Amino acid sequence: MKEDETDQSKPAVVDNLARVQAELGRLAKLASVESAEREELVAMIKQLQAWVKSEVKLDLASLGQAFSGDKEVYLDAECNLVIVEEGGGVAKKPLDLLDPALFLIVAREVTPRLLKIVSAKVTAIMEPPKPSIRVILLAGKKGSDFRKHRPHFFIMNSGGTAQDLGISVRPRYSVGTYGRPKVFGPLKLAPNQQTELVLDKIKEADVFTSLLVEVACKAPDGRTYRGRATFSVENHQWQEIALSTS
């Protein structure tokens, strides 16, 4: 399946997940599965597997005596049951061609595993993107001697909305000492929004070589992100500050 097709299928998977969970739970509890119901369950498993598109390993102990003596059992990306024997032999059987008793054993084991994978994917889709903070330091029109000319310092958010954004900027000098931090905020930066922060003119005799930048902000879901990084004043490119919740 092509990537754009996968993206288009995501809303449908999200909308149908609750129904699929209910149906799989109902059908998998049956002591026996009639042909029509088995076809329905196979179709649901194929729908989930078409989105997961990866091998789903099954627990041999949970599968019971039907697979005793086998080394590994898994459902492949094409919904084939793959059995790896202890001697190295491999048997592959389409899920919809398994006999009813064996199918029920496999369905009871594979459906909760598929649902767990799909639920994790759905959660990732539904979660708002975290903020992504970048900064850049540019020289003024009159040159890059920051003792004479105040530099231009920009901050940009290329991710999700950053709320209660606080920034601390501290210059580091060539002798290894730090100047006083300049603190900004709280600010709010929408996705792809940037703003210039006015730094103090450097008055010390020794020129500064880098900036220590520390940021903290909240995402719309309430999680707080923090990050810090040191950037050389010679680098006049956008530089990202790695953010984490820890």
Residue range 40-83, pLDDT digits in tens: 888 888 888 888 888 899 988 888 888 888 899 999 989 999 99
User: Which backbone phi and psi does 234 adopt, to 5 degrees?
Assistant: -80, -15
Say if residue 161 is in the same domain as residue 220.
yes
Q: Write the pLDDT tens digit of every residue in 188-236.
A: 999 999 999 988 776 655 567 888 999 999 998 889 999 999 988 888 8
Residue 231: per-residue pLDDT: 86
Residue 197 lies inside a defined structural domain of this protein: yes
Say if residue 179 is in the same domain as residue 228.
yes
Q: What is the distance between the alpha carbons of residues 122 and 127, in angstroms, rounded to a whole number?
A: 9
Residue 109: per-residue pLDDT: 87
User: Which backbone phi and psi does 60 adopt, to 5 degrees?
Assistant: -60, -40
Domain boundary among 101, 126, 151: 126
Query: Angle between the 3-28 and 35-52 helix axes, to the nearest 10 degrees?
Result: 140
Q: How far is CA 29 from CA 16, 62, 109, 154, in A?
A: 20, 15, 11, 59
Residue pair 151/138 in contact (Cβ under 8 Å)? The answer is yes
Range of the domain at 67: 3-126
Domain boundary among 76, 106, 126: 126
Residue 246 lies inside a defined structural domain of this protein: no
Domain boundary among 77, 93, 126: 126
Residue pair 62/72 in contact (Cβ under 8 Å)? The answer is no
Residue 8 pLDDT exceeds 50: no
Q: Specify the pTM.
A: 0.51
Say if residue 108 is in the same domain as residue 7.
yes
Residue 85 lies inside a defined structural domain of this protein: yes
